[in-house]
Structure 1
Amino acid sequence: MPEGDTVWQAAKRLHTALAGQVLIRSDLRVPRYATADLTGRTVLDVTPRGKHLLARIEGGLTLHSHLRMDGSWKVFRPGQRWSGGPAHQIRAVLGTADRTAVGYRLPVLELLRTEEEDRVVGHLGPDLLGPDWDPDKALANLLADPARPLGEALLDQRNLAGIGNVYKSELCFLLGVTPWLPVGGVPADRAAALPGLAERLLEANRERPVRATTGRRGQDLFVYGRAGRPCLRCGTPVRLADQGDGSRERPTYWCPVCQPGPAPVPGGTPSAGALRRGGSPHNRTETTAPQAGEDS
C-alpha cells in the first residue's frame, strides 16, 4: 500500500505534468461521473493530503483520488504507449497538449467542489509531509487512547496522516517496542520522540525512488519484509504476524529481542496482552483493502 511519501511523489509527478495546463481530454470512467467534462479547464495544482490526492481544477472543482492497495497514476508523453495495466482498469484520464495522466485501479475517485474538500480529508490528523504538520497535536492524538496498541494507533490516519504498514513496523523497531504494546506503555521519552522520528523518516524518503530507514547500503529496512531473516542489530530472526481486528490482514514485522513486549508467539498463540485491542494471532502475509478511518 502506498504510504505518505509515495503519495507525495505521485502528487509531485501529477503537478509537474498538469498544473497550469488546459485539459484537452477528460475521461472519468466511473458511473457517477461518466458524463462529467473537464475539458477547457486549467489544472491549478495537485496536492497530497496524507494518502489522498487532490487535483484542483479551474471553476472551483477538485478531483479526489485515493490509491489504497493497487491504485496508481501514470504520466505519459504524446504518442507514448500507456503501460499501467489493461484498459478496463483505467478509471481516469486527464490530458493536456503535452502530457496525459492515467489513473489505474483507483478505488476512490470523486469530483467535488473545492470548498467541500474537508468532507473527504477533514478527518485526517496532522500530515507528516504537509504544511499543517503539528507534532504536539499528533502526539496528543496518539495518547488520547492509551490502551490502544501502538501499531494500530500509528495506522489510524485520524491521529497523524501518512503512515502505513512499512513505517509502522520500522518506527516500532526504532523505538524498541512491539506494535502490540499499548500506547500508554511506551516510555514517555520515546513517545515524545515518536512524531519527530516519523517526520524525519518520511521527509528523508519523499524524494527517494527506494525507501530506506537504516542508512545502510543494500539493507534498506530494519524489519519490514524481512520475516525469517536475521535482525540487522542482534541477528535474531525477524517475525511476522497480522495486527488488527481480523477484518483485514496487516503484515507486521518485529524483532522479538530488540522489541520486547506483548506480541503473538510462533504457532499462533498470542502472548499476554497481544490481543488487548484486536491484535491477531494468525501468521499471514497477504493484505486487503483498508476500511475507512484507520487507514484512509
Structure 2
Amino acid sequence: MPEGDTLFALAAQLRPVLAGKTLSRTDFRVPRLATADLSGWRVDEVRSVGKHLLVEVSDGDRRAVIRSHLGMDGSWRVFEPGRRWTKPGHTARAVLRVDGAEVVGFALRELHVDRVGPGRPDPLAHLGPDLLGADWDPARALAHMADAVARDPSVTVSRVLLDQRVMAGVGNIYRNEICFLLGVHPTTPMRVVDAEEAVSLARRLLWHNRLRPVRTTTGLPGRADLWVYGRADRPCRRCGTPIRRVPDEDRDRIAFYCPSCQPPDR
C-alpha cells in the first residue's frame, strides 16, 4: 500500500531517470489536462511530499509541478522508448518521455499540473509536516495533534494518525502498527495517548523503511515484517492471542489489533 515511505522510494527511483532532462513528449490522459503540453520543459527535481509525488519542471521563467497521488492502485513505471508497457494502456494517465526513457503513470487516483509562481496557491499547503521531508518538524505535528483534540476531544488515535493535516505520510499500515507499538486500541481517544511517542514512532518507522525493498516494523528476523496489519486470526507475535480485525470509523479501511496487547478499555 503506498504510504509516505513508498513515495519517497519512488521519487528516489525516478529522480535519476528524469531530473536534469528535457521532456520530449508529455501526454496527460485525463479530460481536464487533455490540452496540457509540457514538451520542451526541463525536469528540475523529483520529490515526494507525504503521499504525493511531485515532478518539478520549468521553461525559462515558467515553472510548474506535475503532481500525482497513487491511491490504492496507482503506480509509475519506467520503460525503454518503444518497449511494450507491462500495464494495460487504458489505465495510463500520464506519459513523460525523455532521452532514453518513457515514464508512465498508471491508474493514478489524482493527477494535476500546477503552475508555480507569485500569487499562485500551494495545493499542498493544507498538509502537516512531511515525516520524510528535509524540513520535518515534530513540534508542528504535536501542535496539530493538540488542535485536533481541542476541536474534538473524542477524536480517536486512528483518525488523528491518518489525518494528513496533522503530519503527512502515515497510511493504514503504519496507523495499525503504531497503535500496536503504543499498546492502544485503534478506537482509543487521542487525548489519553502519548502524543510525543506517537509522533516519534511515526517518524522512526517511515524513516527506517524509506528505501527498504520490504517494509518492516518489527525488527524480528525472517519474514516477520509486521505486527498486526493483515494478520487477522493469526497469533500475535508478542503474546500469541489471535489478531482481530474491525471496520474502521469511515468504513473504507480495516483496523487490526491484538485484544491482549491493545485492550479497548485500557
TM-score band w.r.t. shorter chain: over 0.9
Gaps of 5+ in 2: none
Identify the residue that residue 100 of structure 1 maps to in structure 2.
Answer: 102
| Alignment partner of 2:143 out of 140, 144, 148 | 140
CA distance in 2, matches of 1:245, 1:207: 30
| TM-aligned CA deviation for residue 242 of structure 1 | 1.3
**TM-score, normalised to structure 1's length?**
0.83
2:212 maps to which residue? 208
Separation of aligned partners in 1, 2:215 and 2:197: 21
**1:7–1:48 contact (8 Å) kept in structure 2:** yes
Q: In the aligned structure 2, how far is the partner of 1:185 from the partner of 1:100?
A: 50
SS at match of 1:184: helix
1:54 aligned partner, one-letter code? L
> TM-score, structure 2 length as denominator?
0.92
The Cα of 1:255 is off from its aligned counterpart by: 0.3
Structure 2 Cα separation of the partners of residues 66 and 120 of structure 1: 13
**Residue in structure 2 matching 1:62, options 60, 65, 72:** 65
Size of the alignment, in residue pairs? 257
1: CA distance between counterparts of 2:22 and 2:238?
A: 53
What amino acid is aligned across from residue 112 of structure 1 in structure 2?
Answer: D
Which residue number corresponds to residue 192 of structure 1?
196
Match of 1:169 in 2: 176
Instruction: Show the counterpart of 2:229.
Output: 224
1:259 aligned onto 2:255: no
Q: Distance in 1 between matches of 2:182 and 2:200?
A: 12
Please say if 1:90 is aligned against 2:97.
no
Give per-residue Cα distances to partners, 1:56-97, cap 9 Å, x unaligned. Answer: 1113111111111111111112343311x2111101000111
- Between the aligned partners of 1:137 and 1:119, the Cα distance in structure 2 is 18
User: Which one has the bigger strand percentage?
Assistant: 2
SS at match of 1:178: coil
Separation in structure 2 between the aligned mates of residue 147 and residue 43 of structure 1, nearest angstrom:
45
Secondary structure, in 3 states, of the residue corresponding to 1:256? coil
2 CA distance for matches of 1:220 and 1:135? 26
Checking the alignment, whether the CA contact within 8 Å between 1:73 and 1:103 is kept in structure 2 is yes
Closer/same/farther in 2, CA of residues 117 and 172 from structure 1, 3 Å limit: farther
Percent of residue pairs identical: 51
Shift of 1:117: 7.5
- Once residues 69 and 218 of structure 1 are traced to their aligned partners in structure 2, the CA distance between those partners, rounded to angstroms, is 24
Gaps of 5+ in 1: 264-296
The answer as to whether partners of 1:143 and 1:183 remain within 8 angstroms in 2 is no
1:14 counterpart letter in structure 2: L
Q: Which amino acid aligns with 1:228?
A: D
